[in-house]
Amino acid sequence: MAIHRRDLLRLAAAATVAPALSSLAGCDDDAAPAAPAVPEYSYDGEPGPADLFQHGVASGDPLPDRVILWTRVTQPGAAPVPVFWELALDAEFTERVAAGDAEARAEVDFTVKVDPEGLSAGTTYYYRLWSLGRVSPTGHTRTAPEGALDRMALGVCSCASLGRGFLHAYQGLADADVDLVLHLGDYIYEYGNDGGFSGSPSGGYFPEHVTVTLTDYR
């Protein structure tokens, strides 16, 4: 019998919770331990570049109890950069529910990907990341629901060549109340500007030559 990732996680969670419940049997409710405080970000060094988060933020691959958060830190040098992430139920981050530390490293082009656990199913969360005293844009994401659904709203987009101009439909998609976005086409193109796109509103392709090397792709 095949065991899917979600089933394995559910079984592991049950195995962890059962002994804990047994140890609490007979205890007074008032003696239940308080939930641990969510860590706060702190930094007392020289602030990093103002455009440290040039690539914004993203999230994806939702499960009922987790969702992946992503960003990229743009900074000079090759040394690892500490990154702090946080999740909240509101855009003002007054109801913070999770936070933690990560690291942006040269071998992954200073990208950061974290997979917070223990979230509630079918819930909208707001998230942001901090590094070198700078904060990223705020994103919002949603965990996968559990059980049967009466409705699910999907946003679908396809080939998106930014070198041909700005793609305003993405703003409409960001403003829409959707549960999941499926991207079915290409994210990047290898063309140079020989195709006549240099005069487009977005400024054409970057790099301007045909993409060949790892540096070109990045």
Q: Each residue of 146-183: pLDDT tens digit?
A: 999 999 899 998 888 777 777 888 889 888 888 889 98
Residue 44: pLDDT over 70: yes
Indicate the range of 4-18, 35-49, 82-96 predicted with least confidence: 4-18
Residues 64 and 116: beta-carbon distance below 8 Å:
no
Task: Tell me the backbone φ, ψ of residue 127, rounded to 5 degrees.
Answer: -145, 155
The tally of CA atoms less than 13 A away on the side-chain side of residue 163 is 20
Query: What pLDDT does residue 17 have?
Result: 41
85: β partners = 100, 129
User: pTM of the predicted model, to two decimals?
Assistant: 0.75
- Alpha carbon distance, N-terminus to C-terminus of the chain: 41
Residues 24 and 108: beta-carbon distance below 8 Å:
no
Query: What pLDDT does residue 197 have?
Result: 58
Query: What pLDDT does residue 99 have?
Result: 98
Tokens 């909208």 label which residue? 124
Calpha distance 60→182 (Å, rounded): 10
List, for residues 100-138, the tens digit of each pLDDT value: 999 999 999 999 999 999 999 999 999 999 999 999 999
Residue 51: pLDDT over 70: yes
How far is residue 185 from each of residues 17, 157, 215, measured CA to CA in Å? 42, 7, 22
Whole-number average pLDDT of the chain: 83
Closest to 135 in 3D by CA, of 41, 59, 68: 41
Query: What pLDDT does residue 24 have?
Result: 41
Query: What pLDDT does residue 204 have?
Result: 74
210 against 33, higher pLDDT = 210
